[in-house]
Amino acid sequence: MIPAGPQIKLLAPVLSNRMITPGSYILSFQAAEIAGTARPGQFVMVRCGTGSERVLRRPLGIHRVNFTGPAKGEVSLLYSVVGSGTRWLSELKAGEYIDILGPLGNGFSLGPANRRLLLVAGGIGFSPLNFLAAEAVKKSIKVTLLLGAGTARDLYPEELLPQDIEPVMVTEDGSAGKKGLVTDYLKLFLPGVDQVCACGPLGMYRAIEARRKLLKETPVQVSLETRLGCGIGACFGCTVKTRTGLKRVCRDGPVFDIDEILWSEVKI
Amino acid sequence: MPDFVLDTDLPPSHLKLMVQLAPGHPTGLNLSNPVIAASGTFGYGDEYSEITDIQRLGAIVCKGTTLNPRQGNPQPRLVETASGLLNSIGLENIGVDRLVREKAPVWAEWKVPVIVNIAGESLKEYKDLAAKLRGVKGIAALELNISCPNIKAGGIEFGRRPDLTARVTAAVKARNELPLIVKLSPNVSDIVPIARAAAREGADALCLVNTLKGMAIDIPGKKKLPAFGSGGLSGPAIKPVALYMVYAVAEAVDKPIVGCGGIESVQDVLEFMAAGARAVEIGTASFTNPSTMINIIKDLTDYLSRSGINDINQLVGTAHRW
Ligand SMILES: Cc1cc2nc3c(=O)[nH]c(=O)nc-3n(C[C@H](O)[C@H](O)[C@H](O)COP(=O)(O)OP(=O)(O)OC[C@H]3O[C@@H](n4cnc5c(N)ncnc54)[C@H](O)[C@@H]3O)c2cc1C
Ligand SMILES: Cc1cc2nc3c(=O)[nH]c(=O)nc-3n(C[C@H](O)[C@H](O)[C@H](O)COP(=O)(O)O)c2cc1C
Ligand code: FES
């Protein structure tokens, strides 16, 4: 695992916050400190509110970092509105400030030997994989992305995907791209792949796990989700039992080797 | 715009923020200021060191420590509720032996005093814990947790019956020379007799309160939350309960009180001090904002300067005269 970079808390100016599919948003803020040190798979803890109502920050993966724009050091988050915190976040406007703690956790690791990467994204789980894809391309690793959604209008817009990757769109109802679940296409795109990285709902991980034989020796890294309290390893709210002992999702993860996970222990 | 506090914000020398939590004890348990990190919300102290200047805190209480390491409860362990948090960590911790071996030597190098929170399932476990922590360098005091709602056996029973509170307090006191804070549970019909029992058997200070037992129910998911079936409620939701208990105990017992429960601002600290607390512990508010405690220390200094009060101890118990 790559050691975590320095963690900071800051108020960052929001550059934009716009809906990209029904109920999903990309929020960008300026934070050169985070953009400069963050690694794919790391996350930030976002304060969603200003009063006492919501006491916990919400963890969101780092979706993109950008040094080239006018804002020098822009960080983007991709999130779905699923409850009161993310709803509050969706109402933040450019020019307002977002209260951020991060970057946190251990991200995905790509070794010097990696040549071909298969990314498996279920819905909003694409969030950290976008950052990973961009970094992999920089390292001249070939990237195939299996990108799934329920239906065409929920699919992440193709024009926002990083350049130079091979995207494969999959919808459950077949209204765009291939029909079915991303995991139905693992076998098809596996040949030549030396690393699989996945992020999505628990059901997707279980489906990958069920196809473990098919994946043979190919290592699979997954980003786990539990409810977080502190986000920095101090409260033991996020601990899961794994084959290699107790692990804190926020500090030892959120990215783990799939073979480490005891799936019966992971619940949200 | 990082919002940490610069070292130039140290209090002017004529202002006294120091508080003493064990006046009858040789060490006195003197804290540079009354702001303490609450057990279970601040790990073993070092986790927060990158984000906030932990050495400036009044003290740090480490995660509840048991005789043997504990794996804790199943997931989910945390549920947010209105202005509150339900937790059922189940006392996951590294156990006393590793704490003595790995953590205490680190703490011994720190400026900030570290207090070890101890929890047991039987009188014998408490006795063994106290004995193992005897004479260990790097520990400033013990906090006796007789109030954890998240373990199946023992624990909280010691905080519900005055006779058991008395026995466990006396037993720990007899086996360990460190100042002793007894942390009480709010899950009782009358907290005063329990506070009296702890004070009588030699507690140097009392901390109140631990979390209130509660639960949430997920209707669409058809499940009880946290997964343990119940949890301990913390955060602003419990502040009025904690404040009242501090007030009631301050009226009845002549021991320093550490107030705890829902504190997130200097205003809250002033209220707890007025109710009779000499110091405060802050838990959940560090999750909301890891700078909370450092900000409060700065705000307390500002408050004293503004109101022309030189010694923070003058704020203790004022509400009893109103
Ligand atoms: C390391 C990590 C990275 C994440 N990255 C992203 C991301 O990039 N984009 C994104 O959209 N989401 C991400 N999530 C999930 C996100 O944190 C939750 O969706 C969010 O906290 C919900 O907040 P809320 O206040 O809107 O909903 P709440 O009102 O808190 O909850 C609404 C519903 O969501 C469920 N829920 C609550 N907390 C979580 C949680 N931690 N995970 C999953 N479900 C939860 C509850 O059961 C409830 O039914 C991530 C989670 C983790 C642990
Ligand atoms: C996640 C979590 C873990 C806790 N673990 C402990 C513990 O191990 N021992 C203990 O005495 N209190 C524990 N507590 C209780 C706190 O120390 C404190 O008494 C309580 O949370 C009320 O304060 P607050 O509202 O400021 O959080 C825990 C609280 C939380 C939220
Ligand atoms: S969320 Fe607190 S330890 Fe992971």
List, in order of start, the domains of chain B with CATH numbers. 12-72+91-212+234-321 (3.20.20.70)
Among B181, B180, B182, B149, residue whose Cα is nearest residue B164: B182
Among B136, B134, B200, residue whose Cα is nearest residue B168: B200
pLDDT digits (tens, 9 = 90+) for A233-263: 999 999 999 999 999 999 999 999 999 999 8
The residues facing A197 across adjacent strands are A119, A221
Q: Does domain A8-104 have CATH number 3.90.1150.10?
A: no
Residue with more model confidence, B270 or B9: B270
- Crossing angle, helix B162-175 and helix B192-200, to 10 degrees? 30
Q: How many CB atoms lie under 10 A from the CB of residue B230? A: 16
Among B132, B128, B115, B125, residue whose Cα is nearest residue B155: B125
Q: Which CATH architecture has domain A116-223?
A: 3-Layer(aba) Sandwich (3.40)
Task: Check residue B70 and report its DSSP letter.
Answer: B
How confident is the prediction for chain B on average, in pLDDT? Answer: 94
pLDDT digits (tens, 9 = 90+) for B160-201: 999 999 999 999 999 999 999 999 999 999 999 999 999 999
**pTM, rounded to two decimals:** 0.95
> Hey, what are B314's tokens?
């003058």
User: Residue B265 class from Cβ within 10 Å (0-12 exposed, 13-18 middle, 19+ buried)?
Assistant: middle
User: Which residues of chain B neighbour A246 with C-beta distances below 8 Å?
Assistant: 71-72, 92
Q: Which of B77, B235, B289 sits opposite A237 (nearest CB)?
A: B77
User: Which residues of chain B neighbour A57 with C-beta distances below 8 Å?
Assistant: 287-288
Confidence bin at A72 (pLDDT 50/70/90) = confident
Confidence bin at B9 (pLDDT 50/70/90) = low
Q: How many CB atoms lie under 10 A from the CB of residue B81? A: 18
Predicted confidence (pLDDT) at residue A205 exceeds the cutoff of 70: yes
Q: Give residue A237 CA to ligand 2 midpoint distance, Å.
A: 12
ipTM of the complex: 0.94
**Alpha carbon of residue A177 to chain centroid:** 22
Nearest-CA residue for ligand 1 atom 34 is A82
User: Which residues of chain A neighbour B240 with C-beta distances below 8 Å?
Assistant: none
Domain boundaries, chain A: 8-104, 116-223
Q: Which of A10, A229, A233 sits opposite B3 (nearest CB)?
A: A10
Within chain B, residue ranges assigned H as helices are 96-98, 104-107, 123-132, 162-175, 192-200, 239-252, 266-275, 284-288, 292-307
Beta-sheet strands, E only, within A115-227: 116-122, 142-149, 166-171, 178-179, 195-199, 220-223
Nearest-CA residue for ligand 1 atom 38 is A227
The residues facing B60 across adjacent strands are B37, B114
Predicted confidence (pLDDT) at residue A8 exceeds the cutoff of 60: yes
**Cα gap B60→B37, rounded to integer Å:** 5
> What's the pLDDT score for residue A5?
54
> What's the pLDDT score for residue B152?
58
Contact B238, B288 (CB under 8 A): no
> What's the pLDDT score for residue A217?
85
Nearest-CA residue for ligand 1 atom 30 is A83
Q: Kindly identify the ligand whose nearest atom is closest to the C-alpha of A232.
A: 3
- Quote the percentage of chain A above a pLDDT of 90: 86
**Cα gap B218→A187, rounded to integer Å:** 37
In chain A, which residue's Cα lies nearest the Cα of B75? A267
**Cα gap B145→A77, rounded to integer Å:** 41
pLDDT digits (tens, 9 = 90+) for B121-148: 899 999 999 999 999 999 999 999 997 6
Phi, psi of B76 (to 5 degrees): -75, 145
